[in-house]
Amino acid sequence: MDGKLEVSLDRLPVKRLDAIEENGLEHFPPDVGYDEKRLSLIRRIDFAWAIEKDDNKKQKKSSKESSKPWQWQGMVENLQLAHQELSIIIDLINTVEANDAVTVAGMTRPKPLPNEVLSDLSVSAATKLQCFRHLGKYFKQSAKALEQQVAREARFYGALIRLQQNWKVKRQRGAASAPGSEGFTIDLFDNSLYDPAAVFRPSSLSTVRVDHDSAGMLSINLPPNSYRSLQFGFSGPHTDDSLREPFKMKTSSTRESEKESVSDDECVKETHSLLREVHQAIFDEQVFDLVSREAFNPSLGVNVTGIQENYLQMSIGQGTSVFISITPSSQGDQTVESSGTQNLDNAILPLDTLDGVMLPEEEQDTPKQKWGLPNRVSYEIYLQQIFHEHVFLRAKDRPIYAGNRISGQGAKDGCGLLVHFCMSLSHRIFSNKVLMELDNVVCRVPYLQLISHPTWHSRTSSWTLFMKVPQSILHAGCLAHTSNNHCVKNVIKCQFRTKVVVNDDCINVEGEGAPNVVGLFKGNSEEISSMNRYNCDLADLSVIILQQVASQIIGWLHEEALLVGIKVNRDFLCLSFELEQGETLSLVAHVDPEDTRGCISWWLVMDDSFNEERELRIDISDGASEYKKFLGHLSLDVLYSTLMDLVSLCCGGGSL
Amino acid sequence: MNKGGAGGVGGGGSGGSGGGSGPTAAAAAAAAQKQKTLLQRVDADIGSIVDNFTHLVNVSRVNDLPVRNSQEAFMMEMRAARMVQTADSLLKLVSELKQTAIFSGFASLNDHVEQRTAEFNQQAEKTDHMLARIGEEAAASLKELELHYFSSTQRASDTPQL
């Protein structure tokens, strides 16, 4: 407030005459009420100074702010003014109504102008259009999401249908563990076995859960090392077979990373492969279970020598031990080998059956070492095959195809399969040794040939030792005399065969050879050479064979001598010529399997019955004694020539 | 190879189907009821979609009252959400049908299994014949090789000279 103070004085409260009529009536102004007095007093207050002050403040503020006005400043001020006027009006109305002096009859909205109507309409239309556009975007997003869902489901169910063609797919109702998995499982357990007693407990791998991967495709996740494979091998220091490489494990992590780049077909194929591996692992576990059960049944040929968890060691004879184990597929060779070695030490049962195991230093040189043990992998497959065919396939219809190699062999029921397998393996090892012996003999006897006869029987092996002798020079002449049966018979025999058959670990030798006792007494050559059949041991096999061959040669020489009309006597390995003066000249065969120059050597022995004292002077060690001469390792041609020489000697009657 | 006898059955309708003698009367009635239910669901969903879309089109008129326009905006959002929900329900119904087809298509499954069984038997027979032929060829080759070896100069040089 300024220093100036303006004072105004009211009029004196004197009633002043407004008007007077002619008759003298005076009119005075009406009395003013209390409220009116108040109002008039209020009106008399001059608020101009306050208003001016406010205006000055506003001007100052606006000058202080930026010189450029805000574009909505005018609208804001108008709204503020409108708000003030409305407030004043509302206060007035409320005051008037409070005093009951005046009541508000009604308010009418001012009639909108045409431009206001159109603007309101356009705002509403724009709002609605915006709403529809928003809905359009929403529909597009939803359509896209639903299309993706449809595509994901199409891929998933397409793959599931393809899997169902080969596998048993089950659905767990209401057991979906994760959203979107629908609780599908694949059951790999085969409960249609033939023998109810052989029903196996379902493995933990039997039920495989089907999941979705990040792309919505079907996937099967298996933890690492969850399934195992059957391992078969030979245990002992002389084994040098390398174990087969483990399966290449396809883990879920690698599968998910690769799935984006592979097609659905490849994904389904990989799933098929994985399921097949798991199915095979279940089969391997069942085989191991069966083998374990059978191993502890008392039986010949199989002795359990070591046992651990998922590991079984057995002695099968022939100084050989084998092991069967179930190992995780991801383990490497070294791990399995080391575990196999450790198991020998940690076995519960005493290892007392390894006495017959041949240590490397005990074996001889290369020719005997070259056969070794059979192929480990082939027998692993054989083990699986016989169990599969005779335990698992019996429940189903037996295949119509022929060629079941096990049919008709040995004990084929479920109880004897392991015994049959071990005996087959033992036979293979033994037959290899037999073959080695025969090969050694054949290598050292040039006129002997070895012919193998595959028997296609897992416990039988057969060979033939074949010897072809030179044809007689009188063969052509005797053929002209076809009516002479004796002659024809004598010249027909130019081939000699000795058959060696091994059944399990029994060696049977059959062939012409040693004359029988009856034939010797009768003196008939036809009775002497007869087919013999007898068993022998492995240690005596070489000697037996050589004796058989030597006797066949003696028999042949004997026949040749008889053919030319010379009287000769035949012993087992000796052919004796009678000379004049009672002397006897003998051609004697000597067999020695260890002779590296030739296993069959020949001696010429002079037997003078009138000079017995001379025989005492024979130096046996000296082959050049006058009563005993070493001829050496002669071929058949040379033997035949020697025979002819001896014949001529007998005919000529010359002396030595 | 596992047989394709599926364990789970789609929904609960055809679970009582007989083994090999065909569906029983109860199973056929259940299947018919299931089919009827599905058709009703389909009809309901399609009707819902059509109804909601019709309402969406009907509220496209612009009213004078802004209040009504706002009210209609909320209703449009609600109708759109219902449409999407119904579409999702239809897709779930399709998934159920696919699962039913997977687990109830016994005829086709059995045919396929039998076909595969015949194929595998044939393959096993062929393999067996091949193995037999290989064995015979191996035996013949072995015999021939033995004959050649024992009549060859190599054997003569290997054996001790007489």
pLDDT tens readout for residues A399-426: 444 444 444 444 445 558 888 999 999 9
Compute the distance between CA of residue A646 and CA of residue A640 in angstroms, rounded to an integer: 10
> Is ipTM over 0.85?
no
Per-residue pLDDT, A597: 83
Judged by CB atoms closer than 8 Å, whether chains meet at A171 and B69 is answered as no
Contact A422, A303 (CB under 8 A): no
Higher pLDDT, A329 or A409: A329
Judged by CB atoms closer than 8 Å, whether chains meet at A132 and B76 is answered as yes
Compute the distance between CA of residue B9 and CA of residue B16 in angstroms, rounded to an integer: 9
CA A478 to chain centre: 69
Alpha-carbon distances of A171 from A168, A209, A439, rounded to whole Å: 10, 10, 64
Per-residue pLDDT, A438: 93
Pairing state of beta strands A19-20 and A26-27?
A: antiparallel
Is the predicted pLDDT of residue B36 greater than 90, yes or no?
yes
Residue A237 distance to chain B (closest CA, Å): 32
Is the predicted pLDDT of residue A523 greater than 80, yes or no?
no
Per-residue pLDDT, A403: 43
Residues in chain B with CB shorter than 8 Å from the CB of A170 are 6-8
Compute the distance between CA of residue A169 and CA of residue A161 in angstroms, rounded to an integer: 9
Taking only the tens place, the pLDDT of each residue in A64-101 is 655 677 888 989 998 999 999 999 888 887 887 777 66
Compute the distance between CA of residue A143 and CA of residue A149 in angstroms, rounded to an integer: 10
Mean of the per-residue pLDDT values of chain B: 82
What would the mean pLDDT of A602-618 be, rounded to a whole number? 64
Taking only the tens place, the pLDDT of each residue in A125-148 is 888 899 999 999 999 999 999 999
Compute the distance between CA of residue A147 and CA of residue B91 in angstroms, rounded to an integer: 10
Residues in chain B with CB shorter than 8 Å from the CB of A153 are 91, 94-95, 98
Nearest CA-CA partner of A596 in A397, A396, A443: A443
Does B60 touch chain A if contact means CB atoms closer than 8 Å?
Answer: yes
Does B69 touch chain A if contact means CB atoms closer than 8 Å?
Answer: yes
Residues in chain A with CB shorter than 8 Å from the CB of B146 are 449-452
What would the mean pLDDT of A180-204 be, rounded to a whole number? 66
User: Strands (DSSP E) along A22-78, which ranges?
Assistant: 26-27
Per-residue pLDDT, A474: 55
Residues in chain A with CB shorter than 8 Å from the CB of B156 are 446
Taking only the tens place, the pLDDT of each residue in A488-516 is 444 456 788 899 999 988 999 998 765 55
Higher pLDDT, A374 or B158: A374
Q: What's the order of all strands across the beta sheet hosting A320-328?
A: A228-235, A320-328, A311-317, A303-308
Q: Which helix (H) or strand (E) holds B70?
A: helix B66-104
Taking residue A129's Cβ as centre, other Cβ atoms within 10 Å add up to 12
Residue B65 distance to chain A (closest CA, Å): 8
DSSP state of A609: T
Per-residue pLDDT, A226: 79
Query: At residue A455, what are phi and psi to the nearest 5 degrees?
Result: -95, -15
What would the mean pLDDT of A356-383 be, rounded to a whole number? 63
Is the predicted pLDDT of residue A305 greater than 60, yes or no?
yes
Per-residue pLDDT, A656: 44
Given B1, B62, B142, which is nearest A128 (Cβ)? B62
Per-residue pLDDT, A371: 58
Q: Which residues contact A392 (CB under 8 A, 6 or more apart)?
A: A190, A193, A194, A283, A286
* Three-class SS state of B156: helix
Judged by CB atoms closer than 8 Å, whether chains meet at A169 and B162 is answered as no
Contact A525, A557 (CB under 8 A): no
Per-residue pLDDT, B122: 96
Per-residue pLDDT, B17: 44
Tell me the pLDDT band of A483, cut-offs 50, 70 and 90: very low
Per-residue pLDDT, B162: 57
* Three-class SS state of B152: coil
A318: left (phi over 0), alpha (psi -120 to 50) or beta: left
Which of A115-129, A179-193, B43-57 holds the top average pLDDT? Answer: B43-57
Judged by CB atoms closer than 8 Å, whether chains meet at A142 and B87 is answered as yes
Does B67 touch chain A if contact means CB atoms closer than 8 Å?
Answer: no
User: Least CA distance to B93: which residue of chain A?
Assistant: A150
Q: How many beta-carbon pairs under 8 angstroms link A with B?
A: 147
What would the mean pLDDT of B9-13 be, rounded to a whole number? 41
Judged by CB atoms closer than 8 Å, whether chains meet at A167 and B2 is answered as yes
User: Which residues 81-140 of B have a C-beta within 8 angstroms of A?
Assistant: 83-84, 87-88, 91, 94-95, 98-99, 102-103, 109, 112, 116, 121, 124-125, 128-129, 131-132, 135, 138-139
What would the mean pLDDT of A433-442 be, rounded to a whole number? 92
CA dihedral A265, A269, A271, A272 (to 10 degrees): 140
Is the predicted pLDDT of residue B83 greater than 90, yes or no?
yes
What would the mean pLDDT of B46-75 be, rounded to a whole number? 87
Tell me the pLDDT band of A608, cut-offs 50, 70 and 90: low
Given A135, A161, A451, which is nearest B146 (Cβ)? A451
Residue A467 distance to chain B (closest CA, Å): 11
Given B4, B88, B138, which is nearest A164 (Cβ)? B4
Compute the distance between CA of residue B96 and CA of residue B45 in angstroms, rounded to an integer: 15
What would the mean pLDDT of A368-392 be, rounded to a whole number? 81
Compute the distance between CA of residue B125 and CA of residue A404 in angstroms, rounded to an integer: 10
What would the mean pLDDT of A336-344 be, rounded to a whole number? 39
Contact B99, B4 (CB under 8 A): no
Residues in chain A with CB shorter than 8 Å from the CB of B84 are 138-139, 142
Residues in chain A with CB shorter than 8 Å from the CB of B3 are 168, 192
Amino acid letter, B118? A
Mutate to test the interface with B, among A116, A122, A187, A401 (most CBs of B within 10 A): A401
CA atoms within 13 A on the CB side of A137: 5
Is the predicted pLDDT of residue A173 greater than 60, yes or no?
yes
A341-350, A512-521, A636-645, B112-121 — which is least confidently predicted? A341-350
Residues in chain A with CB shorter than 8 Å from the CB of B155 are 446
Compute the distance between CA of residue A388 and CA of residue A412 in angstroms, rounded to an integer: 12
Is the predicted pLDDT of residue B5 greater than 60, yes or no?
no
Query: At residue A590, what are phi and psi to the nearest 5 degrees?
Result: -125, 125
Is the predicted pLDDT of residue B139 greater than 50, yes or no?
yes
Compute the distance between CA of residue A504 and CA of residue A457 in angstroms, rounded to an integer: 10
Per-residue pLDDT, A293: 86
* Three-class SS state of A526: helix
Higher pLDDT, A23 or A43: A23
Tell me the pLDDT band of A468, cut-offs 50, 70 and 90: confident
Percent of chain A scored above 90 by pLDDT? 15
Handedness of CA A223, A224, A225, A228 (dihedral sign): positive
CA A497 to chain centre: 47
Handedness of CA A616, A621, A624, A629 (dihedral sign): positive
Residues in chain A with CB shorter than 8 Å from the CB of B160 are 444, 446, 596-598, 633
CA B90 to chain centre: 20
Taking only the tens place, the pLDDT of each residue in A543-589 is 999 998 998 899 888 888 888 888 888 888 888 888 877 788 889 99
Contact A166, B2 (CB under 8 A): yes
Residues in chain A with CB shorter than 8 Å from the CB of B158 are 443
Nearest CA-CA partner of A158 in A271, A274, A278: A271
Mean of the per-residue pLDDT values of chain A: 75
Is the predicted pLDDT of residue B137 greater than 90, yes or no?
yes
What would the mean pLDDT of A425-432 be, rounded to a whole number? 92
Is the predicted pLDDT of residue A599 greater than 90, yes or no?
no
Residue B99 distance to chain A (closest CA, Å): 8
Residues in chain A with CB shorter than 8 Å from the CB of B125 are 399-403
A7-21, A298-312, A446-460 — which is least confidently predicted? A7-21
Alpha-carbon distances of A305 from A285, A289, A349, A426, A468, rounded to whole Å: 21, 17, 6, 16, 49
A29-38, A165-174, A371-380, A511-520 — which is least confidently predicted? A511-520
Is the predicted pLDDT of residue A461 greater than 60, yes or no?
yes
pTM value?
0.66
Taking only the tens place, the pLDDT of each residue in A241-261 is 444 444 444 444 444 445 455
Per-residue pLDDT, B33: 94
Is the predicted pLDDT of residue B38 greater than 90, yes or no?
yes
Contact A320, A237 (CB under 8 A): no
Is the predicted pLDDT of residue B114 greater than 50, yes or no?
yes
Per-residue pLDDT, A345: 42
Largest CA distance in chain B: 130
A325 pairs with which residues across the strands? Answer: A231, A311
Alpha-carbon distances of B141 from A438, A440, A650, rounded to whole Å: 20, 22, 48
- The two tokens of residue A593 are 């399997």
Compute the distance between CA of residue A95 and CA of residue A131 in angstroms, rounded to an integer: 45
